[in-house]
Structure 1
Amino acid sequence: MKKFFGWVRNTIVVLGLLYVTSIFVDIRIEGVPLNTVYETAAKETFKFVEDLIERIRKEPEVSALTVTRNEEGQYVFATTIKNVKEDELISITIDNVVYTEFEVEDKRTYIIVKFVADVTFEPGEANKQFTVNNIRYTRNDTENILNADITGTAFKSIDLAIVEARKNSVIGIYNCVEGEFTTTCSSWGSGVIFDRDTREVTVGLNTFNEYDYYIITNAHVVEGGSIYRIYYNGNELNDRATLVGTYTDDTDLAILKLTTRAQLLVLSDNQFVTKTALPVYQGQTVFSIGSPGGPQNFNTVKEGIVTALNVPISLGNDSSLCPNTCSSFQTNAALGAGSSGGAMFDSAGNLIGIHFAGNEENTVSSEIPMSKVFEAIEAILNEE
């Protein structure tokens, strides 16, 4: 082996000396100057090496698709593509629509391709998925197609008409203890009207409808109370709600029943028919409705996004509620103390959670997911 490398070394030295000599002495091989032979060989060798590198170069890869909204409210798609140069990319196909005009950020080992696209949502739709079907690119003067199956999600912005409509199903709750001579109300929270029973009642010659409204809230909102004063559209109702039951199996939920002749608006949400919770996505747009601090802040609205999923929350060692941890997801649509039991909606107005906890800085809002809400409703109402 040493002899072989020694031979290679000696050959390179001899060829180098011959090349240097050919610069000063007209040495020809079959009439062609030796230095020309060397230059031609060098070019062919370089082209061979370049072609070899191109042949062993890694295949392109589409690794991500994100969809965000810019300040003008337009939806901006951003696709991350590895092993393709800016001048090689021809087009990107997303949901069978071909895009050829885009901006490219070169990150050396990958490129980020951005473009604006129209996004429309159907009624009741808060999120819409898109899929990168393929990219077209050139390599070695040949056009190629890379098939892909990378998805990204666009989130609908807040519709103020939807926000206003959902306010009518969120109520305020004063937790009260009825004594022999007085009633003391100590704590405040919120709740969501999710169901109603109707019956005809006849008193003397008069017949009228009487309603049983069912309200989902937190167990800690109703804890220790015997009757509950209900505020609707900012005004206190004459009738009082009673506790149907609580459910604290890794959660913090309760149901109240309000019997009244007043006509209140039950939340219109198909989830309560299907009993199937809609998926929640990190980064999706949401808004919360609740009354922090009391009726003076009735049904305050806060817009935000989902910041974390599947977060276990402890209510403290002295709490009897969800003795292990509560299932939750988190948002930055935090309203503050007193908004417990309030509603968290997606941008299409679908209920995605019930608020039950937050941090002292009022920057994080923890929500009970709908899968737990349906579990609680079934458990409580089946025991009624």
Structure 2
Amino acid sequence: MLGSLVEHVRTAAFLLFAADFWKRLADGLKVLFATIRMLLCRLVKGQKLPSPSQSDCCIQLPPDVYKRADPLLYAQYYLMAQGLAVTWDNPDIDIFDGAAPVTGALQPAHKYRVRVRVWNGSYDAPAVGVGVALSYLSFGAQTVSHTIASTAVNLGAKGTIDCPAYAEFSWITPAIGGHYCLQAQLSWSDDANPGNNLGQKNVNVAEMQSPAKFAFTVRNEASVARRFLIEADCYGLPKLQPCVPETPPGEGRGERPRTRLAESKARWAKALREQAYGHFPVPDDWSVRIVPDTLSLQPRQEAEVAVEIEARDAAFRGSKAFNVHVFTIGESGSRDMTGGVTLTATKG
């Protein structure tokens, strides 16, 4: 009886080994054939074959074989570079005083809880141990950064139960009162898109005393003199639509379903149509005065900018958010965003 049992166990182990062997062989052949197909396509099209650098151990794998994670959060600098309007009230950075969310000015020497939400842009690759570093700037644009703390999160692939992941921080504000800007920086060694790893939360709220008055600092962090332009808009995050399955073009008519890449490109195109920078000017029934709206600063020089916001309708009650963006102006007239703030004027 014992001998028969041992023989059955041995047979089962052999079958498992054989199944794993054939699976590994099939995966290896898939990679080989995909690589050969890529090279043949390049030869047919007359394209130059890739030559590995000295640091490469072999040829580069096609993107359908090598999967990379893409940790990300709402990243204003990246989104603006794509031509999209942004708000500085970051939806992925939340500040709590105990259990209550905080939206106004922060108290000096007070303990707050900060929560950072981290997403993954990849459907296929998780990321274990994504670094999340939290720091703060004094209120304004291009001001000095101060480290708070850092931690790590385990991030699942897009659409899984572990995406998004959350990083929690405890922060005691400086003893000097005022409003501070929080920055969350993600780090991942093999990031598919490191450009979407920096998010900023910078909001100030003031009661309108005809008008509502704000002030913030612009600092030139460069080693050369730079010219700055400051302008306002009224962009706000759109309301989330219900999650309903989309029917890609051609589906149901015998055509091949749309790929994830095609779907992603379509979403970006839609966002650019509906949320492009410049499509959200200050309404005519509001007045926003920025003094100064242009300035030149020497290296490490700072200047205070005053903003006055007023509703032309004296009967207005409620709140209204305004984004104030700071750009550096190049010699050719090019504009690069260097920071900004979201200001909320309220009237009871």
TM-score of the alignment, normalized to the shorter chain, above 0.5: no
Instruction: Please give the range of the TM-score, normalised by the shorter of the 2 chains.
Output: under 0.3
> Could you say which structure has the larger radius of gyration?
1
Greater strand proportion: 1
Quick one: higher RCO (CA 8 Å, sep 6+), 1 or 2?
2
Provide TM-score, normalisation by structure 2. Answer: 0.23
